[in-house]
Structure formats: structure tokens, C-alpha cells
Amino acid sequence: GIYVCAKCGYELFSSRAKYEHSSPWPAFTETIHEDSVAKRKERPGAYKVSCGKCGNGLGHEFLNDGPKRGQSRF
């Protein structure tokens, strides 16, 4: 399936990029489109993430915290 922004419906993540993580929230390794999300550095190793179309807050991207070495976790 496709995960979309709750505010505007823009495509964000595919279920093919979803994986199990110890956090209680869904975790994804990549976005659907290059502009699916906008990022703003919040602290070393973490970006604040919002919808690339409407700016709705989505959470964070954690660098090098994905299922494989070098992958991010959204």
C-alpha cells in the first residue's frame, strides 16, 4: 500500500519500504518521491521531517538507524 499525508494526501512512503523496528511507530527506509518530504536538521543524526507538499509534520529521519548499514529510518 501507499502511505499518504493525512492533511493533503500526497504520497509519502510505500509499504515495500516499511520494516519492523523497536519503536511503536511505522518505520520506513525511503520515501516514494524525491520531494515526498522536506527535512530540517534538528540535531546530529536526526532531521525533522514534514510533507514535501503541504508542510504537515511527520516526525523524524534518523540517519544510520535503518535495517541495513548506512540506511536511514523515517
| Residues 73, 65 contacting (CB under 8 angstroms) | yes
- The per-residue DSSP string of 24-74 comes to SS-EES--SSTTSEEEEEEETTEEEEEETTT--EEEEEETT-SSSTT--B-
pLDDT tens-digit series, residues 2-38: 999 999 999 999 999 999 888 888 899 999 999 999 9
DSSP annotation of 23: S
Q: What is the predicted pLDDT for the residue at 39? A: 96
CATH of domain 1-60: 2.170.150.20
| Sequence ranges of the domains in the chain | 1-60
| Residues 21, 73 contacting (CB under 8 angstroms) | yes
pLDDT tens-digit series, residues 30-73: 999 999 999 999 999 999 999 999 999 999 999 998 899 899 99
